[in-house]
Amino acid sequence: MENKQKVIHPIPPLYDEDSKILILGSFPSVKSREAHFYYGHPQNRFWKVLASILDENIPETIDEKREMLYRHKIALWDVIAECRIKGSSDASIEDVKINDLDRILKKADIRQIYVNGQTAGKMYERYAKEKFKRDIIILPSTSPANAAYSLDRLINDWNRIMDQLR
């Protein structure tokens, strides 16, 4: 028997009126939900990748992470507002309700939306694209489940976000 539970996204979006790009994940992992902040699993490479391409020290605290994103005009949220999910398994996601991205898109001049991984890309295309009428660029997942990608390869592929931040 599957023990999926209905989970409501517990983390508010991170953005301000100066945000230029929006990075969307699919839905926060159990560790991120517990930490009440994005990419909270210690094995997720998101913060290492971003710090590298932004030429910053790897942020340790939530405040340092938040400050780095604001400093570089990066907004952060997830495609999914609510779903049924088993643990942190993206593959188990069903009964999806999407976040209202207009909350960010109407306040900030977002030049490009990037998504962290194929699942976030599929969820956006399936549930959000028609409503928000914005194209996305899918970047390889920083999740530890994406073992095919080395840290160097992730950094190389994620570096394309700098095109919109210059």
Which residues carry out catalysis? 44
Nearest C-alpha neighbor of 60 from the set 94, 91, 35: 35
Strands (E), the chain: 5-8, 21-25, 74-78, 80-85, 94-98, 112-116, 136-139
The count of other CB atoms within 10 Å of the CB of residue 19 is 23
Tokens of 162: 């700098």
Tokens of 44: 């997720």
